[in-house]
Amino acid sequence: MSTDKTFQLFPRLPPELRQQIWRHALLAPAVWFATFLYNLGHGCRWDPDQRQQFALIPVGPAPPTAAGFACREARREMESLITNPWRFNDRGQLCWIHWETTVIHLGRYDNAIRFYGALHGHEKAWFKHVAFEFPSWCRGGVMLISGRVALGSPNLRTLIVHMRAVDNADTEWEDAQHAQRPSMIDVQF
């Protein structure tokens, strides 16, 4: 038999099956990377104006919620699953995030502290799965941001910490910090 006689086009599928397909596509696991549009330099200080520099970038070819923009039927399903899309700055970026299946990756230690610190309390409460990255020499920073995330996100279920070996950029930054505050760098954990 030819394929055009045996394959039913998507619109001809029963509505219940189409809804299951949309739901499956929209609920696929995802990672969003939190970053800033401009390089703010090293350090962990932040101020409310930096919030305008925030950007959330989906990791991978497209976030699962991109399926929600395929047609009206998909959009309705997405809106039923994600009732409160996240608009976190005045630039208008709207992020359709399903918090049950999405990891927010806060990036390196300084980025993580800035980004998380500038969020409002109700936004932090949405987080269920959070990841961040630290060089192996920065264990104190791990404790700092881990504690902030654990206390600020009451619905948190997963906290992923990427520890990596020291690279040249970290060594240069550590040397600069050591020259300024030797007592801070010499602490052993």
Tell me the pLDDT tens digit for each residue of 74-92. Answer: 999 999 999 888 887 666 6
Structural domain containing residue 164? 26-61+98-185
Number of domains in the chain: 1
The rounded distance, in Å, linking the Cα atoms of 100 and 97 is: 9
Return the pLDDT at 187: 31
Distance from the Cα of residue 17 to its chain's centroid: 31
Whole-structure pTM over 0.85, yes or no? Answer: no
| Residue 56 domain flag | yes
d(CA 157, CA 9): 40
Predicted pLDDT at 116: 87
Indicate whether 77 belongs to any domain. Answer: no
Residue 33 falls inside a structural domain: yes
pLDDT in tens, the chain (189 residues): 455 665 568 888 999 999 999 999 999 999 999 987 765 555 445 555 667 778 888 898 788 889 999 899 999 999 999 988 888 766 667 889 999 999 999 988 888 888 888 888 999 999 999 999 887 666 667 888 888 899 999 999 999 988 776 555 555 545 544 444 333 333 332
Asked whether residue 52 is assigned to any structural domain, the reply reads yes
Which pLDDT value is given to residue 9?
Answer: 86
Rounded to 5°, angle at Cα 70 from 66 and 76: 90
